[in-house]
Amino acid sequence: MKISGRHLFIPFFSIFMCLSTLNLFAQTDAEMIQTVTGSVRLSDLGFSLSHEHIMSNFGKPIDETSEYDEDQLFKQVVPYLEYLKSLGVETIFDCTTEYFGRRVDLLSRISETSNIQIITNTGFYGAAGDKYIPSFAYSTSVTEVASIWIDEFEHGIEGTAIKPGFIKLGFDGGSPSKIDKKLFEAGIYTHLSTGLVLAVHTGDNIEAVNYQINLLNHHGVDLSSWIWIHANKYEDDRILLEIASRGAWISLDGLSSINVDKYLERIKKFKERGLLDHLLVSHDGNGFPAGGDIRPFEDIMKSLVPAMYEEGFSKQEVDLILIENPKNAFRLKLN
Ligand SMILES: [Zn+2]
């Protein structure tokens, strides 16, 4: 059969169109983030609390953590989120992982009812003495664990269309354990495959900090893809500043009404060093801690922000920490 020039043109044109469309998607994806009600533009996140728990069953045995008294949960959490919304909060990053209380079906209903954007996570929580690590994680390979998390990102969580917006992991105190190291390596594989940022409960465990940084370097992962969660527990600010200067995100996420002044002093040090653009501030609050009373997540808006203005911070600097940094920290890092 004779193929005319015009027919040849069509396949070439189609291939060109396909490639340019793919390229376009690649560019667009990094500007989008998954919430529990679908993907949104990063620019629409607005004022964000980067480490809170809408609810969790932390403390309960692992096989009881996915059950909630749903009437009580909605009665307590929805009005509270509406209150936070009235204080200016637009987005909350929910750090409750699978196996200590993540329920994306409930999060999505809570988000729709309260009109606050919620971002959930994938990963297993290695802190708390490994209480919330499922037993199969010890016997399966690193890549098999990673494939579970990658699948949640690609296809949705637990049969829903809801996808994670970050990877949440954790280290216990002391020398990093075999299982915590294994989960972190699975997290790196998940990051390399999806671009999701690694938010890792590390606290004051500097040995775990160094271990993670070394492994990230080994895999060629930029430190901007890693958040040191609960860095506030590490008292030596020089180390926090040094690690921020290498590109990592420092999360001071235990703010409450009693420590506002201390946080302000620490934030000032980041400002002096020109490192405000590597800082995240949040409360680690909980709207329904194992069915108990709310652990508040309101003091940034009520106390810290007014105190920052009194201390001479500009609106641009406040917005940097609470609007721009969450956007940049959680942006997909597509290589
Ligand atoms: Zn937390």
pLDDT of residue 24: 43
Report residues near ion ligand 1: CB below 5 Å: 95, 284
Distance 39 CA to ligand 1 centre (A): 23
Distance 17 CA to ligand 1 centre (A): 45
Distance 50 CA to ligand 1 centre (A): 10
What is the residue extent of each domain of the chain?
45-330
Per the listing, tokens 């801690």 go with 289
For residue 39, pLDDT over 70 is answered with yes
Distance 79 CA to ligand 1 centre (A): 21
Question: Partners of 295 in the beta sheet?
Answer: 286
DSSP helix/strand/coil, 243: helix
For residue 181, pLDDT over 80 is answered with yes
Q: pLDDT (tens digit, 9 = 90+) per residue, 44-53?
A: 999 999 999 9
Residues 6+ apart with CB under 8 A from 202: 170, 171, 208, 209, 212, 228, 229, 230, 231
pLDDT of residue 29: 84
Q: In terms of pLDDT, which residue wins out, 20 or 108?
A: 108
As a whole number, the mean pLDDT across the chain is 93
Distance 200 CA to ligand 1 centre (A): 10
pLDDT band with cut points at 50, 70 and 90 for residue 335 = low
Distance 8 CA to ligand 1 centre (A): 58
Distance 28 CA to ligand 1 centre (A): 30
pLDDT of residue 334: 85
Distance 52 CA to ligand 1 centre (A): 6
| 45-330: CATH number | 3.20.20.140
Sign of the dihedral through C-alpha 51, 125, 184, 209: positive
Q: pLDDT (tens digit, 9 = 90+) per residue, 265-299?
A: 999 999 999 999 999 999 999 999 999 999 999 99
Distance 283 CA to ligand 1 centre (A): 8
Average pLDDT of span 14-38: 63
Distance 243 CA to ligand 1 centre (A): 21
Q: pLDDT (tens digit, 9 = 90+) per residue, 136-179?
A: 999 999 999 999 999 999 999 999 999 999 999 999 999 999 99
38-41 and 32-35 beta bridge pairing: antiparallel
Distance 96 CA to ligand 1 centre (A): 7
For residue 14, pLDDT over 70 is answered with no
DSSP states of 140-171: S-HHHHHHHHHHHHHH-STTSS---SEEEEE-
Distance 284 CA to ligand 1 centre (A): 5
